[in-house]
Each structure stands twice: as structure tokens, then as C-alpha cells.
Structure 1
Amino acid sequence: MDPLTLGSLVALATIGVLFSGISVAAGLLVVSAGFILIFDGASSLSLMPEVFFGKLDNFALLSIPMFIIMGAAISSTRAGADLYEALERWLTRIPGGLVVSNLGACALFSAMSGSSPATCAAIGKMGIPEMRKRGYPDAVAAGSIAAGGTLGILIPPSVTMIVYGIATETSIGRLFLAGVVPGILLVALFMLWSLYSTWKSGNAQVLQAGNYSWRERIEILPRVLPFLAIIVGVLYAMYGGIATPSETAAVGALLCLLIAMVIYSMWSPRAIWTVLRDSTKESVMILFIIGAAGVFSYMLSSLFITQSIAAWIGDLEVNRWVLMAMINLFLLVTGFFLPPVAVILMAAPILLPIITTAGFDPIWFAVVLTINMEIGLISPPVGLNLYVINGIAPDIKLKTILMGSLPYVACMVVAIVLLCLFPGLALWLPDLVMGDAP
């Protein structure tokens, strides 16, 4: 059978299996085993365990559970509430400052936790009721938190970037740095839209928060600054040549646990066990998907599907930006149905040779891909962040949350366009800190 036709069958079978409700990792293994058995013979199935565990034989993978423990330790405390309150006190005089402070809190908390759902839950529990109480429309209150939560997969340290780095064998350090400026850009676009919508509503003065003294503003800082110091310290250790990403992640996880215990009195063995248990569950899920995606990639390669698709697209006489637009559309659609980790592990090995042949930088592409995944987090039918917000505020209809998040989707599209026009937004900082890429 022609490899391209076979590739179409694999795509249809994968979609059908995943829509059956089976887990992503199990679905990938079922599809891989089925096509290897039919087209490569039963003898090839014996290689699947070796490929699966070989994909997990990577020292960089140790950073994933460590960064997840960091996020879980932070999420289990009042750090999100304190961060939100600190920004509210400092941004009180800005018209519409409450929604701006919520977005700022989402950006900082996502940098500390690396988790979009955790960011939505931690900031939304405080921010949404407060914004509604002060007269913000439900769509603005819910949509801003849903969008702000997506920043967790872009701003470092990002587990999504680690997964991309492992899947494509690119530098995790460069990927982290590549997400910094685009992350700041997205935060700025979100805040600008929020300020504009507040001004346009004519309620700028009404929507100001309360007045706080300088003493009230300063007294909240000691509860927040230690966590921020850990993030800065982790990044400094990584880029200062002091330690590898895995080593810095381990130290960061330990420090986050200690700070949670000291500042927030999380001394209970049950609370610590909960953090470690939840972190283990999430880590195993991600590692299981990584192993299964390795088997899936092996199947595509052994049946010459990956090579044929890359050659076919390479032979297309289309402008490379038209090709990138098609890739973005593909990523956007898949992001509607699958979690970011699954999309990256399934698509990156196929897309990497295509984008490099077209002359695109894989580090730059990682940022574009991640922003597409952010859009998927606030888009139906999956739209995980939409359901998290709906769980926090069940009296706000899902349609209202979606409509409130749409302007922020537009901001993400603008960010992708700006990255296409100015690739240096993603590449300048990695090249500055780590030198030009080889």
C-alpha cells in the first residue's frame, strides 16, 4: 500500500480510537500494535517494549516529575490567593486594575506552577467572585482567568517545553528562554485588551479596586517573594552553568516543599503525601504518553509514513508561509480535541523535518506550537480551562465563559502573526544567553 494512503488510514484509525474514550497513551499503543501487526508482521511486535522503555531512558525526563512537584507544592498552599491579593493592592489605582491584576497573577502563578488548570483554579477562586462583586461582566471575569491560565504551558519552567525538547531532541534550556519574551508579549496583549474593554465600557472609575496604604501593600510581599525567588534561582542555576535542568528542577522541588511547610505551615504528613501522590499520578500519565508516542513514531517510521509525508510536502510548490499557515491550522484543530502533551508527542516528530526543510527554526516553532495549544485550552469541545472555570463558578454558563475568552484567542492569533513577522521575539533571548544555535 502507498505510504501516504497508509498514513491516512493511520490518522483515521487514531482519531477513531481516541474518540472512543480510551486514554491517549493506550490509544496510541493500540493503533501502533495494530498497524505493525498487519503491515510489518507479528515478529515486529517484539520491538515495541524496547522502543517504549528506550523512549523513557532519558535523563532529561527526570525534570518532569520535579517541576510537577514544584507546581503541586505551590498549588496546595495559599500562594495563589496571596499573589492575587498582592497584585490587587499594588494595581488598585489603575482603571480596570482588578482584571489586570488577575492576569498578572495568572502569569506569575503559571510560572511557579507550570500548570494551566492549577492556575485557573488558584487565581479563579479569588479573582472571579471579586471581579463580579465589583461590577465586571461575567464574560470578562471568567474569560480573563481562563485565558490567563493558558500561560502556564508557555512561560518557563514549562513541562510542555520539556516534552517538545525530548520529542525533537532540541535544547530544553533554549526552549525555556524562547518562551520568556512571547510570554511577556501575550501578557501585555491580554492586559491591553482588558484596559481597552474597561475604558470602552465607560465604567473605568467604577471598576477600580479599593484603596490600600503603602503598609498594606508591603506587608503581603514576604508571603510571595520566596516563591518568585525560587523561580529566578532555578533559571539562574540553569543558565549560569551551575546545574542541568534536571538538577535545578530537583532543588526547586525541594525548596518549594520547604517553603510551603515553613510559610504556610504545611507540616501535616497527609498534606505532603497528597502533593507527592498527585505529582506521581500526573508524572506517570505524562511519561506513559511519552513512551506510547515513541512506539507510535516508530510505527510511522517503520512503515515509511513519516518519510513519505515529509517528502510529499517538500515537493509541494507552495510558499513556505502558506505551508506554515496549513501547519498552524492543523495544530489548532488537533488542539481542540487533544491535550498539548499528546499533540506535541504525536505531531512534532512528523512536523520537525518539514519545518526545518522549509527553513524554519525548531526553537521558534516550539513557541508557535505552544501558543496554538494555548488556544486549544480555551476552545471547545475539550477546552479544559473552560470546564475548570465552570467548576469554580457553576452559575456562569459555559457559553458566557467561551465568549469572554474569544478576545484573548484573538490576542494569541496576533501573537502568532507577530512571531512570524519578527522571529527574533522568540530567538533573541536564547541566542543572547546561550550563543547562536549551532
Structure 2
Amino acid sequence: MSPLTIGMLYAVATLVIMFSGMPIAFALGAVATVFMYFFMPASSLDTVTQNVYEEMASITLLSIPLFILKGAAIGKSPAGRDLYAAIHVWLHKVPGGLAIANVFACALFAAMAGSSPATCSAIGSAGIPEMRKRGYSPGFAAGVIAAGGTLGILLPPSITMILYAVAAEQSLGRLFLAGIGPGVLLVALFAGYAVYRAHKEYRMAYAAYQSSGTASAYLEKEHFTLPQKVEMLPRVLPFVVLLIGVMIALYGGYATPSETAGLGALLALALMAAVYRIWKPKDVAPILSSTIKESTMLLFIIGMSLLYSYVMSYLHISQSAAQWVVGLHLSKWVLLAVILLMVVVLGFFLPPVSIILMTAPIILPPLRDAGFDLIWFGIVMTIVMEMGLIHPPVGLNIFVIKNIAPDIPLRDVIWGVMPFVGLMLVAVVLLCVFPEISTGLPNMVMGVK
């Protein structure tokens, strides 16, 4: 049986078992084990645990549970609410300032926590009620938070990027730096749309007031004194200092990614104790419990995904698929478009972690041969996977929003996020035209590769 035929069977078996409702980790592990039994030497089954262990024996992967601990410590505290409130107080005079405050708060919180669902939950639980109280439409309020939450997998420290660095055998520090420029670009695009949409909703509210006398909270003006603004800073600044300190330790060469993650986790726990008095065992227990559950789930998926990729490689499925793609003789940009379209389709059903580990052996060799910078492609792929977090049918952030704002109809949430999907597509096009947006900073800090 040819490798391509085995590969087709492998793909069909994977889809069937995933649509059966089996958890992703078990599905990938089961498919890999079955194909090892039928198509590999019998002794292969005796080495399943050894293969999984060896594939996961990466010092880079050690940083994942530590970054998760750091994110859980911040996510389980009122830090997100305080961060949002502080930014709102300082931006309230800017048109659409409340929406912009949510975008900025999502960006900063995502950079501290490294988790899209945690960002949506922490910022959205405070931001969505405040936006709706001030007259913003429910769909727009939901869209801002859902889209802002996606920055969690783009801005460092990103667990998704850690996995891509391992799968693509690229520098994690360079990859983290490459995400900053595109992250700032997305924040600017989101904020620009927030201003436009806020202007539009303000005009509609004013027209309704002129015609029928119906007053809207949109038309009410807020005022904060300088002492009130300054009063909001003490609880926010320590976390900003933590973010800056972690970045300096990582990019300044003072610590490895794993050491940086450990340092960040310890400092986050220390700040929880100092700022919010979260230090008693009963207060810390939910943080540790959440970290253990998420780390176990994620590392289990990683282990099974790596076993899945190992079987693909052993059976020459990934090599044959890559050769087949190269044999199509597609132009450079058509090849990129086809691969990104595949990532979009996979994003309908799979989380970013699985997409990276399942597709990397197939898509990276042709892209490397076509002359693409794999660091640059990692950022483009991450933005495309961000789209998967907010586009239907199973965008994770959409359901996080429904959980924290159950009274907003799902239809409104979906229509609210669609403009932001379009803005992400614009960002991808800009990165293709101006790759220096991504590659400029790592080249400047770490030298041209």
C-alpha cells in the first residue's frame, strides 16, 4: 500500500474518530496506536510510552505549565477588572474610549496571561456590562471582547507559539519578538474600528433622541478628576512592571524561556499576595487546581499529537504529502493561500495546538523550499488561527462570551465578531506585503538570521 493511500486512510480515520465526540488527545492517540499495530513492526507498540516521552523531552515545553501558572494567578484575581477600569478612566474622553479601553485591556492582559479564554473571561466580565450600560450595542460589545481575547495566542508569552517553535525547530525568543509588531497592528486595527463603530452608534443614538426624545446612555458624558485617575494606577502598575520584567529577562539574555516562565509565575503569585491578599491555602488552591487541570490536558494533547506526527513520519505520510504538494508546482503565493485556507478549515473543528502539531510535518517543508521565512509564517498562521477562535461554527471565544453574557443572542455575538475577522484578514495581507512588520524587531534585536 502506497504512503499516500495510507495517508488518506489516516486522515479519514482521524476525522471519523474526532466526529464521534472522543476528546482530541484520546482520538489522536487511538488513531496513531491502531496504525502502529497494522502498519508498523509489532515491537513498535512496546515503545509507545518511550516515544511520547522522548518527543516531549524538550526544555522548551517545560515553560508551558509555568506560563499557565502565571496566567492562572493573574486570571483568577481581580487584575483584569482593575486593568480595564484604569484604562477606561484615562481614555474616557476619546471617542469610543470605552471600546478602545477594552481592546487595550485585552492586549495587556493577554500579554500577561497568555490565554485567549482567560482574557475574554477576565476583561469581558467587567467590560461587556459596562459597555452595554453606556449604550453600546450587545453585538459590538461582545465582538470587541471576543476579538481582543484572540491576542492571547499572538502576544508573548504565547503557548501556541511555544508549540510552533518546537514543531518548526525555530528560536522561541525570535518568534516571541516577531509577534509584537503584528500584535500592535491588530490592536490598532481593532481600536480604529471601535472608534468608527462608536461614532456610528453615537450618531444613531443622537438621531433617535432628536426624533423621538429617547435618551440613550451613549449621550451621557463622564468626567474623572486627576486624583481619580491617579488612584487607579497602584493596582495596575505592578502587573505592567511584571510584564516588562519578564520580557527584559527573556530578551536580554538573562534567563531561558523556562527560567523566565518560572520567574514570572513566582512573581505573579507574589503580586497576588501583596496586591489582593491572595495568599491563604483556600485562596491559592483554585489557582493551582486550574493550572494542574489545564497543564495536564494540554500536555496530554501535545504528547498524543507528537505520537500522531511520529507515526505519520515513520509511515512516510508527511513526507509523501509534502512531496505531493511540491509536485503540484504551485506558485509561491498560491501555495501559501492553499495552506492558509486549509488552516482556516481546520480551525472550524480543532484548537490551535492540534492544528500546529498535526500539520507542521506536512506544510513546513514545502514552505521552506518555497523560500518563506518560517518565523514570519508562524505569525501569519497564528493570526489565521486567531480567526478560528472567533468564527463559527465552533469559535471558542464565542462560547466564552456566551458564558459570561448569556442574555446576548448567539446571532448577535457572531455578527459582532465578523468585522474583526475581516480586520484579521487585512492584517494577514499587510504582513504578506510588508513582512518587516513581523521580522523587523527580531532582526534588530537578535540580528539578521
TM over 0.5: yes
Which whole-Å deviations, capped at 9, do the CAs of 1:201-244 have from their partners, x for residues lacking one? 31598367621111111111110111111111111111111110
Taking the aligned partners of 1:316 and 1:131, their CA distance within structure 2 comes to 50
Aligned residue among 210, 215, 223 for 1:211? 223
2:120 is the counterpart of 1:108? no
Question: 1:223-302 to 2 correspondence within 5 Å?
Answer: 223-302=235-314
Aligned residue among 346, 349, 352 for 1:340? 352
Q: 1:435 to 1:397 in 2, by over 3 A?
A: same
Equivalent residue, structure 2, for 1:407:
419
Taking the aligned partners of 1:120 and 1:256, their CA distance within structure 2 comes to 19
Equivalent residue, structure 2, for 1:142:
142
What is the DSSP-based 3-state SS (H/G/I as helix, E as strand, rest coil) of the residue aligned with 2:240?
Answer: helix
Equivalent residue, structure 1, for 2:326:
314
Taking the aligned partners of 2:36 and 2:25, their CA distance within structure 1 comes to 17
The amino acid across from 1:5 in the alignment is: T
Taking the aligned partners of 1:257 and 1:84, their CA distance within structure 2 comes to 20
Equivalent residue, structure 2, for 1:74:
74
Over the residues paired in the alignment, what is the CA RMSD in angstroms?
A: 1.3
Which whole-Å deviations, capped at 9, do the CAs of 1:38-72 have from their partners, x for residues lacking one? 12242222232221000121111111111111110
Contact 1:95–1:195 at 8 Å: present in 2 too?
yes
Taking the aligned partners of 2:296 and 2:163, their CA distance within structure 1 comes to 13
**Shift, 1:383, TM fit:** 1.0
The amino acid across from 2:67 in the alignment is: F
Taking the aligned partners of 1:367 and 1:324, their CA distance within structure 2 comes to 13
Which whole-Å deviations, capped at 9, do the CAs of 1:280-322 have from their partners, x for residues lacking one? 1111111111211111111111111111111111122221100
2:372 is the counterpart of 1:351? no
2:30 is the counterpart of 1:30? yes
Equivalent residue, structure 2, for 1:18:
18
What is the DSSP-based 3-state SS (H/G/I as helix, E as strand, rest coil) of the residue aligned with 1:173?
Answer: helix
What is the DSSP-based 3-state SS (H/G/I as helix, E as strand, rest coil) of the residue aligned with 1:223?
Answer: coil
Count of aligned positions: 437
What is the DSSP-based 3-state SS (H/G/I as helix, E as strand, rest coil) of the residue aligned with 2:62?
Answer: helix
Q: 1:204 to 1:255 in 2, by over 3 A?
A: farther
Taking the aligned partners of 2:283 and 2:26, their CA distance within structure 1 comes to 31
Taking the aligned partners of 2:190 and 2:259, their CA distance within structure 1 comes to 34
**Shift, 1:424, TM fit:** 1.0
The sequence identity of aligned pairs, in percent, is 53
Contact 2:33–2:45 at 8 Å: present in 1 too?
yes
**Shift, 1:350, TM fit:** 1.9
Equivalent residue, structure 1, for 2:410:
398
Q: 1:330 to 1:208 in 2, by over 3 A?
A: farther
Question: 1:353-432 to 2 correspondence within 5 Å?
Answer: 353-432=365-444
Contact 1:106–1:119 at 8 Å: present in 2 too?
yes
Taking the aligned partners of 2:205 and 2:57, their CA distance within structure 1 comes to 55
Contact 1:79–1:224 at 8 Å: present in 2 too?
yes
**Shift, 1:192, TM fit:** 0.7
The amino acid across from 1:391 in the alignment is: N
Equivalent residue, structure 1, for 2:172:
172
**Shift, 1:433, TM fit:** 0.7
Taking the aligned partners of 1:275 and 1:209, their CA distance within structure 2 comes to 39
Equivalent residue, structure 1, for 2:184:
184
Equivalent residue, structure 1, for 2:6:
6
- Provide TM-score, normalisation by structure 2: 0.95
